[in-house]
Amino acid sequence: MKSKTSFLPQGKACSSRCPDNTAFKQQRLPAWKPRLNVATVLSSFFLTGAFCLSVGVCLILSANSVREIQIDYSDKCSECSELRENSSNWNKECSCSANFMLEEGILGDVFMYYGLQNFYQNHRRFMMSRSDAQLLGQNAKIQQYCAPFATYQNGTPMAPCGAIANSMFNDTIELFYSLNSSVIQVPLLKTGNCWWTDKNVKFRNPKSYNLSSAFAGTARPPYWQKPVYMLDVEDERNNGYVNEDFVIWMRVSAFATFRNLYRRVQRVGQFAHGLPAGNYTFNISYNFPVTKFKGRKHVILSTVVWSGGSSQFLGIAYVVTGSAATLTGFVITAIHLKLRKKKTYFQK
């Protein structure tokens, strides 16, 4: 039986499949082909090690120059914590205070952070529970991916929806300075703390003649005490989805222990050069419960330097990398000298 398969002539088949006879497609372009020798390899290792070590030392010294005060107020506010564990007490106010003393003043710009411990924001279902379309102001009633915090049982949509927004940190922290027999409230700035791209690109309010009408037909998340358009009663521009406390909270952390920027000390009057030495008090309106997930809460006062905050991780990483490169260079040098001696011996 004859086969029905027909074959093209070899020349035609090759001409239809082979790439063009050009220098690029035939890989005939001139290329740099370095020939590595001992001097080149050793110099690259030692230069890399010296660079990484010098950068690492500079980063560590810079991080050590950061002034930082951290106050854990979880135990100091234990009564308020017990009150907040019962959800029926959501409308009851509870305040506590934490005292501390600065033996030396903190000069320069001072930043206030709140810190949470054992709060896992990196859980996949938690991170996915949000509506980016809603946060862009396209429609206040869009709730895709917001389960289980999308709508109430009567069908009213939540704004903002999702587990991230519902769990927003809502403690109010104020700082007071004791001078002689008087108490002065430290002025704190609540705007200018988030990234420009967040407030101008990723978050937008719905377009309307006022915010209350823009969010008509929606309701606040169940754990919130007031609607999204009333987050800042002092500054109308800091309301809705562009509220800076809300924007910073929506940027989830990769670790269970983290800190978020809360306020900046306004450098005016007594605090024109920073925080002077003396006695201080944190007045805290306690609203955020942490006992159920065995968490803790901190408030941090810190300065910043050109390399960032007080974390030494990047500096240590550079030092380890530089040490490894330098050690590798010495090992290669020892191996080269040993083999060269053997080669000289056999040639004799």
pLDDT at 5: 45
Query: What pLDDT score does 191 carry?
Result: 92
Pairing of strands 188-189, 182-185: unpaired
β-pair type (274-275, 278-285): unpaired
Residues 22-66 have pLDDT tens digits of 888 888 888 888 788 888 899 999 999 999 999 999 999 999 999
347 pLDDT above the threshold of 60 = no
Residue 348 has pLDDT above 80, yes or no: no
Rounded to 5 degrees, what angle do the CA atoms 258, 313, 72 make? Answer: 35
pLDDT for res 100: 93
Rounded to whole angstroms, the Cα distance separating 220 from 243 reads 15
Residue 99 pairs in a beta bridge with: 281
292 has a pLDDT exceeding 50: yes
**Sorting pLDDT into bands at 50, 70 and 90, what band is 344?**
low
Among the ranges given (143-147, 193-197, 310-314, 341-345), the one the predictor scored with the smallest mean pLDDT: 341-345
In 3-state terms, what secondary structure has residue 28? coil
Strands (E), 162-285: 172-179, 182-185, 188-189, 258-265, 274-275, 278-285
Q: What is the pLDDT of residue 313?
A: 92
What are residue 178's DSSP bridge partners?
183, 279
Range 211-220 average pLDDT:
89
Q: Could you tell me which residues are beta bridge partners of residue 70?
A: 300
Contacts of 20 (CB under 8 A, 6+ apart): 26
Q: Which residues neighbour 223 within 8 Å (Cβ) at sequence distance 6 or greater?
A: 90, 166, 167, 168
- Give residue 217's pLDDT: 87
pLDDT given at position 11: 47
- How far apart CA 51 and CA 318 sit, in angstroms, is 9
CA distance 126 to 253: 11
Confidence of residue 171 (pLDDT cuts 50, 70, 90): very high
Q: Write out pLDDT tens, residues 177-210.
A: 998 889 999 999 999 999 899 888 899 998 887 8
Residue 113 binned pLDDT confidence (cut-offs 50, 70, 90): very high
**pLDDT value of position 115:** 96
Give, in degrees to the nearest 5, the angle at Cα 75 between 167 and 67: 85
More confident residue, 88 or 7: 88
Q: How far is CA 258 from its chain centroid?
A: 8
Look at residue 325 in the predicted model and tell me its pLDDT. 97
Contact 52, 318 (CB under 8 A): yes
Q: CA 281, CA 99: separation in Å to the nearest integer?
A: 4
- CA angle 104-107-110, nearest 5°? 110
Residues whose CB falls within 8 Å of the CB of residue 135, separated by 6 or more in sequence, listed in order: 160, 202, 203, 204, 241, 250
* Predicted structure pTM score: 0.82
Q: What is the mean pLDDT of residues 230-235?
A: 90
Instruction: Say what the pLDDT of residue 14 is.
Output: 56
Which residues make beta-bridge pairs with 116?
258, 297
CB 38 within 8 A of CB 71: no
